[in-house]
Amino acid sequence: MNLKYSGSGIVVYNQNEYQCKLYINENQGGILIKISVNKPFANFLELPFNIKFLSGELNTGYKFSLVNCSRNKMENLISEGKSVYTYLSQYMFKGVGGKDCKNVKLYKVVFELSGIIEWGNISGYAVGENYELLQNVDLVRTLFENEKFSVKYVVNSNILPVHFTEVLKEEIILKQSGNIEIIFRKYESIEEFEDIFRRIKQLIELSTLKNIHLNKLTGWSADIFTVYGEKRFDRVIDIISCDFKKDEETRENRQEAGKWIALSELIANDSFANYFSKYELLEPIVNLYLEILKSMEMSVIRIFLNVIQALETYHSRFVTNNIETFKKRIKLVILKNRPEEFVQCDTAFLMANSRKFITLESRLADLLLAKFEVYFDTGDIKYLDFPNVITKTRNYYIHYDEGIKASGRVLTEEEISIYNTTLLDMLEYYLLLELGFSDTKRIEEKLNKKWDRTSQTLSLIKMSKEVEKSNEDISSSSNLNETD
């Protein structure tokens, strides 16, 4: 990352003033400051490794504040009679700082994101009855609200030309952006806003199945204001964040934005409230899932292992991690209304090899049955054999013990690429349930639109091989005739 020199000036730490040089890359969120101490042999710990807050002012009069600075290096410049401490900063408040600035607390922060307009299904513009372009006024949706903070989705857009001179141009560009607006009831640090935003961003990425980038960050504080006459107006604070990715080209996403879970569906199913209430439990599961989407170089086997780990984690966190509770669940929940003639077989299927603890095979069996509310396509693997085959395959690709292959079927890499669809189908079904989607038929329809059925994929592969073999036989027969 290239950093541009912004100027020299003074920075204040612990009521002491130090000379400094500031370097910035706004597009990529790079913030670096070099602080000078007038000692050629300054102590390595003259300044701490991490500094929570720094405020400063350049010689030009430009004020700034830095948040969460971590030391990058330290140099003793003996010939210049000074030592230089270099820090990287997580955030920078532009135009806010100086000798008297102690800290910056905010009540509102707006995060401008890339590529979410289609997902939000709201535009800053509308088309009238006579096909004229209009300015839309319905631009806000409340996502979540509690006694501490509120989260809204807001669309910002350019104002349409209102004067004839504004349309006398070769090119008229209209821009709009999707934004997440977070407002706290009390003044909070930027980190508190970042924590809420990170959770919302993760849910948006889960919904759109693509990376979402932060383009712009602005904040408001009651302590930073401008007075016009007798009126006081809180001034907009432009914030540079290390999370900026303005120059980064987004890779081709595996699914078009808005085609899996649209914002309107999340709101209708109260998904944001469900997500916030279960966030700590869901986080590792969602992270494992998103890891697949964000990595272009992840192998088929690595995807398989990720999904299995996510399913195992889901079952332990949302179903049970206690063997006795699991036994009761089999009897009182899963097989409660099951015909008597199937109970013994189903119990053996669900218990698998679970004795003192719940095995992966038992967890997969439970998730596969899904209380008989939904059917997952297991391809050419018998339904009752599926958990065992998947478990043996997982064990093999973790330990690479050839003895595992001798004890039963282990999927090849080619087969894993096909059956990953079934496993992702299962994982996404349970994620939707936790997000508040309750209509299992609608969920099944949504998943069927997203993934090709495993049996169908296998049939196509089989047909393709048969055609290929038939063509080879015809070719071979033709060569024999030519020889005769």
The answer, yes or no, to whether residue 424 has pLDDT greater than 60, is: yes
Give residue 44's pLDDT band: very low, low, confident or very high (50, 70, 90). Answer: confident
- Which pLDDT value is given to residue 252? 42
- Which pLDDT value is given to residue 207? 94
pLDDT tens-digit series, residues 161-218 = 889 998 899 999 999 999 999 999 999 999 999 999 999 999 999 999 888 999 999 9
Question: Which three-class secondary structure state does DSSP give residue 330?
Answer: helix
The answer, yes or no, to whether residue 289 has pLDDT greater than 80, is: yes
For CA atoms 196, 201, 202, 204, give the dihedral sign. Answer: positive
The answer, yes or no, to whether residue 377 has pLDDT greater than 60, is: yes
The DSSP secondary-structure symbol of 244 reads: B
Q: Which domains does the chain have, with CATH numbers?
A: 4-94 (2.40.10), 106-166+175-213+250-263 (no CATH), 285-464 (no CATH)
Q: Is 161 left (phi over 0), alpha (psi -120 to 50) or beta?
A: beta
Mean pLDDT of 426-451: 91
> Which are the contacts of 84, defined by CB distance < 8 A and separation ≥ 6?
34, 35, 36, 37, 74, 75, 77
Q: Give, for 219, the enclosing helix (H) or strand (E).
A: strand 214-228
- Which pLDDT value is given to residue 478? 63
- Which pLDDT value is given to residue 448? 84
Q: Which residues share a beta bridge with 339?
A: none
Mean pLDDT of 86-94: 96
The answer, yes or no, to whether residue 479 has pLDDT greater than 70, is: no
pLDDT tens-digit series, residues 302-356 = 999 999 999 999 999 999 999 999 999 999 999 999 999 999 999 999 999 899 9
CB 105 within 8 A of CB 99: no
CB 350 within 8 A of CB 330: yes
Q: Which residues of 132-157 are buried (b: 16+ CB within 10 A; e: fewer)?
A: eeeeeeebebebbeeeebbbbbbbeb
Give residue 18's pLDDT band: very low, low, confident or very high (50, 70, 90). Answer: very high
Mean pLDDT of 238-258: 62
Give residue 476's pLDDT band: very low, low, confident or very high (50, 70, 90). Answer: low
Question: Which three-class secondary structure state does DSSP give residue 30?
Answer: strand
Mean pLDDT of 251-260: 50
- Which pLDDT value is given to residue 251? 44
Give residue 232's pLDDT band: very low, low, confident or very high (50, 70, 90). Answer: confident
- Which pLDDT value is given to residue 248? 54
The answer, yes or no, to whether residue 246 has pLDDT greater than 70, is: no
The answer, yes or no, to whether residue 481 has pLDDT greater than 70, is: no
Count Cβ atoms within 10 A of the Cβ of residue 409 and give its class: 0-12 exposed, 13-18 middle, 19 or more buried.
middle
Question: In the predicted model, what is the mean pLDDT of the chain?
Answer: 90
- Which pLDDT value is given to residue 126? 93
The angle formed by the CA atoms of residues 72, 221 and 113, to the nearest 5 degrees, is 65
Mean pLDDT of 430-445: 93
Stretch among 136-150, 239-253, 320-334, 366-380 having the lowest mean pLDDT: 239-253
Mean pLDDT of 245-268: 66
Percent of the chain predicted with pLDDT > 70: 94
Percent of the chain predicted with pLDDT > 90: 72
Structure tokens at 367: 């998730």
The answer, yes or no, to whether residue 33 has pLDDT greater than 60, is: yes
Mean pLDDT of 455-471: 78
The answer, yes or no, to whether residue 88 has pLDDT greater than 60, is: yes
Structure tokens at 83: 């030592």
Q: Give, for 74, the enclosing helix (H) or strand (E).
A: strand 63-77
